[in-house]
Chains A and B, each alone.
Chain A
Amino acid sequence: MICTRMIKLGILATLLTVLVGCQTQTLYYWGDYEKQTYDYFKDEPISELIDKLEALKEEASSQEKPLPPTFYAHLGLLYEKSGNTNKFKELLLQEKQKFPESAVFFEMFLKERNINAKNN
């Protein structure tokens, strides 16, 4: 009887190991970033969202993982919404440098803002 219990336990342990092994490491540091984007769509105050994302950025700097795609660009958009277009451009360039796949899209944003800057 004790023997069968041991076998049961052994099999259970093996299954658990297999299942835990399925859990993979993430490529990026997320924190509660997804929730932050959702809150943006729900029209939470921009200044609060900026504070939270800056805190997340701070948190990420002590991690070995980079921040995910879209993070810098999204934070930039929040700055532009609060009137800081220069900060927006700076963050777009950062995202473009980390993820060159975004170049076409962000160059459009940058070009528009540079033209506006010249006209003003």
Chain B
Amino acid sequence: MQKIINKFKFFLIITFVFLSGCETAKFDYSAFKASKPSSILVLPPLNESVDVNASSAVYSSLVHPLSESGYYVFPPTLVMETFKQNGLTEPRRIHDLSLSKLNEVFGADAILYINIKKYGQTYSIITSANVVSLEAYLVDAKTETEIWRGQAAASSNENSSNNNMGLAGLLVTAVVEQVAGQIFDLGFPTSQIANKRLLSASVPNSLLYGPRHEKAGTNGQ
């Protein structure tokens, strides 16, 4: 009996360790709470990677997490169209636009600036993966104050840990993953995961829930 109780205690401890692993240092949301944005304009993401698809893959996969967090998101395709009609196609130049100019055209409560640090297929001898790594900050459009900042990354091989394979097997896997990553355009699904981690209010230290969500003004599960 004692043995069983000991085992039970052990599992309880493991469970607590597992659950408390979710706790991380809290982001200071005071500026965010004072600003209370309800609409977010995301500017075309800056691309530091060499992959030309990066900006559109990331730009088209952020409407979901932002909307589901309770915000109105300006349609990326119409925003792009507007900049294009005004002769602006370079994200770098668009990020340099003054807030007063952006306010005049869009009337958004907050502006989200995203920087793509890494995007695409990385190849190494043991494994190959599709990686997306993002940084972002959110600015109150009226006061010009930065109200939030965060970063997140995702990799296509997070779920495939092949520990029991010999070196030859690993090499084959690496080549297959490399080729598959290019054929199936893994950049888009990987961007979707990275964007959810970066912008979904259910993730600790991400945005607060917006007014269209019942948990408005809070963060986390």
Contact = CB atoms under 8 A, between A and B. Distances in A.
Interface of A: 3-4, 7-8, 11, 14-15, 18, 22, 24, 26-28, 30, 34-35, 37-38, 40-42, 68-70, 73-74, 77, 95, 99, 101-105, 108-109
Contact of B188 (A8, A15, A35): A35
B15 A42 contact: no
Contacts of A11: 11, 15
A89 B82 CA distance: 15
Contacts of A22: 202, 221
Which 10 A/B pairs are nearest by Cβ-Cβ distance? A104-B107, A41-B56, A70-B75, A101-B39, A101-B72, A37-B60, A38-B60, A73-B75, A68-B67, A99-B72
Interface string B15-55: 10011000000000000000000110000000000000100
Contacts, number: 102
Interface in B179-221: 188, 192, 202, 212-213, 221
A interface SS class: helix
Given A99-B72, A101-B39, A105-B106, A34 B78 contact: no
Interface string B72-113: 111111101110000000000000000000000111110000
B74 A105 contact: yes
Nearest to A39: B60
Interface of B: 3-4, 7-8, 11, 15, 18-19, 38-39, 53, 56-57, 59-61, 63-64, 67-68, 70-78, 80-82, 105-109, 188, 192, 202, 212-213, 221
Nearest to A92: B78
A26 B72 CA distance: 15
Contact of A27 (B3, B67, B73, B221): B67
Given A38-B56, A70-B76, A102-B39, A24 B70 contact: no
A35 B190 CA distance: 12
